[in-house]
Structure 1
Amino acid sequence: MTGNRRPRWFLEEPSPDAGARLFALPYSGCGASMYRKWPRFTGDVELCPVQFPGRENRLREDPFMSFGSLADMLCEALLPYLDRPFAFFGHCSSALIAYETALRLERRGYPVPARLFVSSQVAPHKGVHGRFLDMSDDELREEVRTLITELGGVPRPDMVELSLEVLLFDVAAHKRYGVADPDPLPCPATVLGWDEDVEVPHQLLHEWSDLGETTFTLLKGPHYGFLEGPDELMRTFATGLGRAPGPSLAG
């Protein structure tokens, strides 16, 4: 990919100077801009928010219908950028997308992540979990308003309805996800809990260790605390990838 043209899967072209890359997958109902408060780099690790189809600048595209179908697309879309150590970050439902993508990379003989960072999500074999899954459309609409406000935006009615449509597709895909006998992790995982998270309490996260090598890290903050890009989270990314923690840079 050359010139100033940006690939549709990223808001910014990943830098050729990065020592390692962390691909940050969007939370339910959101796009890549949800990570706008994150730095571009932490040390030499580039933080690369991924844009899913059907949202933000890809609004005219069909949304994904299942975590598996999205993981298949991600394998091919990200392959040109897997030429150095890399990791995935997923919060809540996108942690499961990160897991499924890592599995598919391994099956295809592609490079696999050096590490998965899974945040506020129960292990795949523990069943679907999350209060969004049992909410009515009106309740989800109110959650969208809250999330837009958390992201620093103004919840205009048109924006709320567009975001609600995306969220409904994401919730439906999450409800369809089920893995009774999950495959082992293809790489080590860092499981991230948040000490003020009342939506997915950190005590529910430890069964990821059933799938392979895991490290559990408890961070300070609520369910949406990751949106601010806290320093402790940035250091966790760097050390988890075996990189020296360094200043967080805008790039």
Structure 2
Amino acid sequence: MTLQANAATPWLQRPPSAIATRRVFCVPHAGCGANIFDGWPERQGLVEFLPVELPGRLTRYGDPMPDTFQELAGAVIEGLRPHLDVPYALFGHCWSGLAVYETAVQLQRAGLPMPQRLFVSGQVAPQDGPVGRMLDMDDAELAHELSLTIRAAGNHPHPELVAIYAKVLRTDVEVCRRYVVPEPTRLNCPVTAIGWADDTEVPPERMAGWAQCADTTFEVFPGRHERFLDAPPELLRTLSAGTSS
């Protein structure tokens, strides 16, 4: 695959900034769209944060979600590769931590520009999964979980929208269930594994396996599993610094 000229893509909420010289592509976690990053700034200095819109949600509701992380990663690369023309990083939280890892794996295999750094938040390494309480939830429990996430983002969960996105969440959970990686591909880009001190879902110590996937730096920030939604200053500083390393 070769890079193409910069072009519009449905994978991004907005076109890349003409001012920013570095990019962080931010992938939403399971059941959610790019609007979970609405509380984040568009830029910090010359680093811009670009939410990625996945198929099957928000403006792409009519687009089918791939059945596997491998298929999703290939589609993400096709959508974003015109915008890999400046130093960039990938950020994923929980479910999307695995999505960005698989994207980096396929970028490496294809010989395309690699991220300066991969940021994974609140997720175990791929060879240590699949794990997560959602794997054992029925549809009603997933809908309740989604409502809690919407409230955590400062919004009011509308019952009809919750019902729609519970189906999206179910699809995403099944994608995670299928992702079995006995032996991880070691990346030639570094990883920063970000744990949250009060995370009861994925305690920071459960993230140690990322060291098998790449040269890995471990960070632990204050807060619970979903604190990344608030764009904590320490998280933004880490992401911004990582695009220049």
Question: Do the two structures share a fold, i.e. TM-score over 0.5?
Answer: yes
Q: 1:7 Cα deviation (Å)?
A: 2.6
Amino acid at match of 1:131: R
Which residue is 2:19 aligned to?
17
Amino acid at match of 2:50: C
- Distance, in Å, in 2 between the alignment partners of 1:238 and 1:138 is 38
- Partner SS for 2:156: coil
1:52-63 equivalence runs, <5 A: 52-63=54-65
**TM-score, reference length from structure 2:** 0.95
Q: Which runs of 4+ in 1 moved over 6 A?
A: none
Amino acid at match of 2:35: S
**TM-score, reference length from structure 1:** 0.93
Which residue is 1:165 aligned to?
167
Structure 2 residues without counterparts, runs of 5 or longer? none
Q: 1:106 aligns with which of 103, 108, 116?
A: 108
- Partner SS for 2:162: helix
Kindly indicate whether residue 209 of structure 2 is the aligned counterpart of residue 236 of structure 1: no
- Distance, in Å, in 1 between the alignment partners of 2:198 and 2:129 is 22
Kindly indicate whether residue 142 of structure 2 is the aligned counterpart of residue 137 of structure 1: no
Which residue is 2:42 aligned to?
40
Structure 1 residues without counterparts, runs of 5 or longer? 244-251
Which residue is 2:178 aligned to?
176
Q: 1:17 Cα deviation (Å)?
A: 2.0
- Distance, in Å, in 1 between the alignment partners of 2:19 and 2:53 is 21
Instruction: Check whether the contact 2:200–2:224 (CA below 8 A) recurs between aligned residues.
Output: yes
- Partner SS for 1:8: coil
Which residue is 1:87 aligned to?
89
Q: 1:242 Cα deviation (Å)?
A: 2.7
Aligned-pair identity in percent equals 43
Which residue is 1:75 aligned to?
77
- Distance, in Å, in 1 between the alignment partners of 2:31 and 2:73 is 17
- Distance, in Å, in 2 between the alignment partners of 1:184 and 1:177 is 16
Q: 1:6 Cα deviation (Å)?
A: 5.4
- Partner SS for 2:174: helix
- Distance, in Å, in 2 between the alignment partners of 1:12 and 1:6 is 9
- Partner SS for 2:218: strand
Q: 1:61 Cα deviation (Å)?
A: 1.2
Instruction: String of CA shifts for 1:138-196, please: whole Å, max 9, x gaps.
Output: 11111011111112221111111011010000000000100001110230000000001
Instruction: Check whether the contact 1:102–1:186 (CA below 8 A) recurs between aligned residues.
Output: no
Which residue is 2:68 aligned to?
66
Instruction: Check whether the contact 1:54–1:64 (CA below 8 A) recurs between aligned residues.
Output: no
Which residue is 2:203 aligned to?
201
Instruction: String of CA shifts for 1:96-126, please: whole Å, max 9, x gaps.
Output: 1101111111111110000000001111111
